[in-house]
Amino acid sequence: MRTTVGIIGAGPAGLLLARLLHTAGIASVVLEGRDRGHVEGRQRAGILEQGTVDVLRAAGAGERLDREGLRHDGIELRFARRRHRVDFPGLTGGRSVWVYAQTEVCKDLIALQLAEGGPLLFEAPALAVEDAATDRPRVRFRQGGTEDVLECDYVVGCDGFWGVARRAVPAGSARVFERTYPYGWLGILADAPPSHHELVYARHDRGFALLSMRSPSVSRLYLQVPEGTDAGEWADEEIWDELTRRFETGDGWTLERGPVTQKSVTPMRSYVHEPMRHGRLFLAGDAAHIVPPTGAKGLNLAVGDVVTLARALVHERDTGSATLLDAYSATCLRRVWQAERFSYDMTGLLHRAPGATPFEDRIQLARLERIASCRAAETDLAEAYTGFPFG
């Protein structure tokens, strides 16, 4: 099998890249190790930046997003039993974010790819990327119990942190920057209407909490818990009681409760692999970088990567110049490191570290007070949250 661009992974990065290439007339094949049901059902991110929404609309994948997605024009910060709303459009010149789950983005892009695009092979795990430093890279993969080879002009690894693509980069030609955090997020899905019309980020002496949603009838909520926590250690009522404590305000606000339908713990890490290219192998999304979820940047960073790469591939085809391809890693990393910085700052602002001192607690509160009372500080948060420019 041969194509121009071999894409490993049918998450939002791989699927969107395939869509962008298809609309530009560049052939691709997408290899995905899991079945379609798994890809369309795995719960991940739920916040889309303004730029991500604009790209999906332009790619023809915005119809259901516009119909079912929830536009949010701000977030609420809670601390010391107080509430402060950050007005995104008023601070950024009109930008907003949308609540629309990654599962739904994948469903939309899969439907488009199967109806209009190139081959999308499910249950076809990539085994290895070979000859990445040559002009004829190849991907060995398995489908139906038989090994096959996909020959390409370019290979793009959109296969996540544990995928095979990054392993094809020689260790001596890469640097890794990472940080692990001594806490995680205990997350639940609940059949309960959201208790607030926008996301609520709460800093509390007992730890961080986040109120989010998936729809007008389904809530998504998170609690900071110690690293290594087993979700099964927490009974449903214990979770609701703890959420109630951490979201408490002085104005009588109450938390809506309902049946918990899903429960899991997400570990927290920051990770960057430099460079994001080796020969004709390009890394995108979680294959190249991980951010703690506090800043809602993971999916949006992946979109920025593939938009940058699609532009570069079109430029190379149309002009014969590899200038943009050669600049791919540096271009993406400028945005990646700003998102890493913002996610790190948000995490430190809102989470209580094990053994935190009273001095550190007061510094957190002082930082939150600064955001609530200083338009410049508030604008910096709003501009970062709604998204850094692509490219």
Instruction: Look up residue 367 and give its two tokens.
Output: 């930082």
Instruction: Look up residue 182 and give its two tokens.
Output: 């001594």
Q: Which one of the listed residues 22, 204, 273, 297 is annotated catalytic?
A: 297
Q: Would residue 385 show up in a list of annotated catalytic residues for this protein?
A: yes
Q: Would residue 263 show up in a list of annotated catalytic residues for this protein?
A: no
Cα-based torsion angle of the residue sequence 65, 71, 72, 73 in order, rounded to the nearest 10 degrees: 130
Q: Which one of the listed residues 22, 292, 293, 351 is annotated catalytic?
A: 293
Helix (H/G/I), strand (E/B), else coil: 105: helix
- The bridge status of strand 154-157 relative to strand 281-283 is parallel
Question: Residue 93, exposed/middle/buried by CB under 10 A (0-12, 13-18, 19+)?
Answer: exposed
Q: Would residue 344 show up in a list of annotated catalytic residues for this protein?
A: no
Question: Residue 69, exposed/middle/buried by CB under 10 A (0-12, 13-18, 19+)?
Answer: buried
Provide the H-helix boundaries in 134-276: 236-246
Q: Which one of the listed residues 72, 196, 273, 351 is annotated catalytic?
A: 72
Q: Which one of the listed residues 201, 204, 289, 351 is annotated catalytic?
A: 201
Question: Residue 376, exposed/middle/buried by CB under 10 A (0-12, 13-18, 19+)?
Answer: exposed
Q: Would residue 351 show up in a list of annotated catalytic residues for this protein?
A: no
Closest CA to 154 of 140, 169, 168, 137: 137
Q: Would residue 107 show up in a list of annotated catalytic residues for this protein?
A: no
Give catalytic residue positions: 72, 201, 293, 297, 385
